[in-house]
Amino acid sequence: MLVLALLLLITIVLAYPLGKYLAAVMQNREMKIDPVFHWIEKPIYALIGTNPKQGMTAKHYSLSFLLSCFVIGLLVWILFMVQAWLPLNPNNAPNMSWDLALHTMISFLTNTNQQHYSGQAQLSYLSQMVGIVGLQIITPMMGLAMVVATVRALFHKADHQADATSTSPQNSLSNESQAIQNHTQNNTQSTTQSNLQNNSQSFGQNSNNQSINVGNYWADVIRPTFRFLLPLCMAWALFLNSQGVPSTLNAGPEASILDQSALIAEKNIQKIPLGPVAPMVAIKQLGSNGGGWYGPNSTVPLENPTPLSNLMEMMAILIIPISIIFMLGFFTRRPKFAGMVFGCMLLMSVISAGSAIWSESLSSTSTSISVMEGKEMRLGATDSALWAAVTTQVNNGSVDMMHDSAAPLTGMVAMGNMLINAIWGGIGCGLQQFIVYLFLAVFIAGLMTGRTPELLGRKIEAGEIRLLAILILLQPLVILGLTAITVFVPSLTGNSNPSFHGVSQVFYEYVSAYANNGSGFEGLSDNTLWWNLSCSFALLMGRFPALIIPLVMASRLAAKRHSPESSGTLKIETPTFALTLIAIVVMLTLLQFMPVLVLGPIADQLSLS
């Protein structure tokens, strides 16, 4: 627990100034460093053909997001299928099959990094650096852009009214005088327009949401990429390289095998794969990506050589998601709201990590020799359990132990983290999912107190509830549906354990895909047509609706008339509401997935006991 406290303390201290800086970047404020980045950004804007100062509606913003994903994804998919014929392939990696290339492309395009391949053997340096690392850099910033657009829409009217309230008396008198002068000539027209607008809003028709400016998508992706993420990655890569993580374009060395009983292909030499590992490890951790250079990920000493690198890699998982919460307070000028979000996430994080540490190092089953299989002895059970909790609280998915070998209750903690998907969450995705829970909590709290559900002065009506219902129901339909089909047809499953743990293996794979996490219970023969295509479907369903639908809901709310706060207004920036929200999140997760959790990790734990 001391390691947990130290990790959170250092990360929070560093995340606060980063969040303040990130808010300035996303608000497009003038900075002294602008000349350093303008020479990079302006040619890119010119190439795309966009004006970074020109805003977009939610529809245009979402279409730009989808278009960029389609174009980049298509290019990377082709790259994976022709990599053997391209340069920078010293290890002679073969071309990927179309279905494995498709799954790999979608996995990294959705910021998931679920791997049905072994990176050091099946990808060339070019594919790693351009395809994999390129997507690892861009896709987190796409998620950040979508949540920033949602926050702009959600606080649209509130910010406008706050500005109006802060207007000086002189300006107010001037505005009033101007209004009196124009009153006569505009009276009839304004009255008619007002009546039409009121009638439209009373029936929940939000035609004005098409005119809400939610920012420029291209600027929201490009600015934080160059001004925030890449400098951070460069610093982290240099640190990791100093700890012994390789960073080279040369082919790996060959070593003589000492144990002659372990001869590989009747040769007494083994080729050790190297490459530009440090930059990839930096972005895989900082970008909530998780996909490593090596198949066993950060269990390999070449990716994670020292205890200090282990701590810094865990810190890298958390620092940007926590920074985004602090950014929220500066961005909206509502620190209490950001404090409520931060408090909810911190409480769930501590409970989750504490449970995993207890399960691996303090519970009655922690002394079982079978539980130690799959762990790095140099890291120990406590650090391994903490990493497992942190990597699933954020949709990172990197590992420093094999989750398949963890205690069953530790596996259940990891599953619960991914099902909630808002305990810090991924870059942008975590806060976006939290906003979904916020909508749900406001709706349920309004029903419980006999009030019309209202968020930030805007009524949540039937249209918003339908969109919310789609998001809430989509998760169990996709995860449980695919799990049921896979378990029902043994030829599709390909798992290494037909018992309770076999259910956990299949369920975990789809939970990880839908949560855009990427970690897995190894033991599945997952490089098959069924697993590649079914997981690709889960990846897409977990990424795009979860990012786009909250933006649509927020833009609909922004177009509605803002009601001033009164004694009957639901206060969302209070501990009471925060605990209500957490209770709703926990109950929603348990009610939807308790049967499969009983059949999988709970039954597995009981059989182990």
What mean pLDDT comes out for the span 323-334? Answer: 95
Q: Does the pLDDT of residue 260 top 70, yes or no?
A: no
What mean pLDDT comes out for the span 210-239? Answer: 93
Residue 187 in domain = no
Phi, psi of 147 (to 5 degrees): -75, -35
- Residue 498, pLDDT score: 74
Q: Which of 71-85, 118-132, 252-266, 355-369 has the highest mean pLDDT?
A: 71-85
Distance between CA 129 and CA 76 in Å, rounded?
A: 11
% of the chain beyond a pLDDT of 90? 60
Residues 6+ apart with CB under 8 A from 302: 244, 245, 246, 274, 277, 293, 294
For Cα atoms 531, 534, 538, give the angle at the middle one, nearest 5 degrees. Answer: 125
What mean pLDDT comes out for the span 39-65? Answer: 94
Distance between CA 415 and CA 95 in Å, rounded?
A: 33
User: pLDDT tens digit string along 157-166?
Assistant: 644 444 433 3
Residue 186 in domain = no
- Residue 192, pLDDT score: 39
Distance between CA 105 and CA 174 in Å, rounded?
A: 58
Residue 161 in domain = no
- Residue 469, pLDDT score: 93
What mean pLDDT comes out for the span 21-40? Answer: 93
Distance between CA 378 and CA 526 in Å, rounded?
A: 29
Buried b (16+ CB within 10 A) or exposed e, 473-490: ebbbebbbebbeebbeee
pTM of the model: 0.87
Mean pLDDT computed over every residue of the chain: 85
CB atoms within 10 A of CB 58: 25
- Residue 264, pLDDT score: 54
Residue 264 in domain = no
Residue 200 in domain = no
Distance between CA 439 and CA 460 in Å, rounded?
A: 8
Lowest mean per-residue pLDDT among 42-56, 256-270, 570-584: 256-270
Q: Alpha helix locations (H) across 256-407?
A: 277-286, 307-332, 335-361, 380-393
Total domains in the fold of the chain: 1
Interhelix angle 58-82/217-224, nearest 10 degrees: 60
Phi, psi of 358 (to 5 degrees): -60, -45
Residue 110 has which token pair? 């959705």
Task: Give the CA dihedral 323, 53, 549, 320, nearest 10 degrees.
Answer: -10
Find, among 531, 466, 425, 529, the residue nearest to 99 by Cα.
529
User: pLDDT tens digit string along 398-431?
Assistant: 998 888 888 889 999 999 999 999 999 999 999 9
DSSP state of 454: E
- Residue 267, pLDDT score: 65
Ramachandran class of 348: left when φ > 0, alpha when ψ lies in -120 to 50, beta otherwise: alpha
Residue 366 has which token pair? 């922690």
For Cα atoms 290, 321, 72, give the angle at the middle one, nearest 5 degrees. Answer: 55
Residue with tokens 């509830």: 465
- Burial of 208: CB neighbours in 10 Å, binned 0-12, 13-18, 19+: middle
User: pLDDT tens digit string along 336-348?
Assistant: 999 999 999 999 9
SS3 268: coil
Residue 112 contacts residue 511 (beta carbons within 8 Å):
no
Q: Does the pLDDT of residue 197 top 50, yes or no?
A: no
User: pLDDT tens digit string along 444-470?
Assistant: 988 887 777 888 888 888 889 999 999
Q: Alpha helix locations (H) across 494-602?
A: 500-514, 529-558, 575-597
Q: Does the pLDDT of residue 60 top 60, yes or no?
A: yes
Residue 306 has which token pair? 């020292």
Distance between CA 593 and CA 413 in Å, rounded?
A: 13
Structural domain range at position 76: 1-156+214-252+270-608
Report in angstroms the alpha-carbon separations of 149 from 90, 144, 213, 323, 387: 43, 9, 9, 17, 31
Residue 544 in domain = yes
Residue 320 in domain = yes
Find, among 322, 311, 243, 321, the residue nearest to 287 by Cα.
321
Residue 417 in domain = yes
Q: Does the pLDDT of residue 211 top 50, yes or no?
A: yes
Q: Alpha helix locations (H) across 155-216?
A: 156-165, 169-202
